[in-house]
Amino acid sequence: MALQYGLALQKETGHIEQSPISDEELNKSMLDRLKDSSVKEQLTNQIEEDKEVTS
């Protein structure tokens, strides 16, 4: 969210700088973080429970 706000401010002022962070690196980092946390497991369990309820 902070990154989006910063980009919006740069665009508004016309002072746009190239970000040292690429989208590819950011996506990889987020996926790695999900792997390290229990969030992925919780989401998988929730999806499986939802499928069982609707079946």
Report the distance separating Cα 53 and Cα 26, nearest Å. Answer: 35
Cβ atoms of 40 and 34 closer than 8 Å: yes
What is the average pLDDT value for the chain, to the nearest integer? 81
Task: Parse the chain into domains and list their residue ranges.
Answer: 19-55
pLDDT for residue 20: 78
Backbone phi, psi, residue 38, to 5°? -85, 0
Distances (CA, A) of 55 to 41, 48, 50, 51, 52: 21, 11, 9, 6, 5
Q: pLDDT > 90: what percent of the chain? A: 4
Residue 28 has pLDDT above 80, yes or no: yes
Bigger pLDDT: 16 or 14?
14
Residue 18 has pLDDT above 80, yes or no: no
pLDDT tens track for 42-52: 888 898 999 88
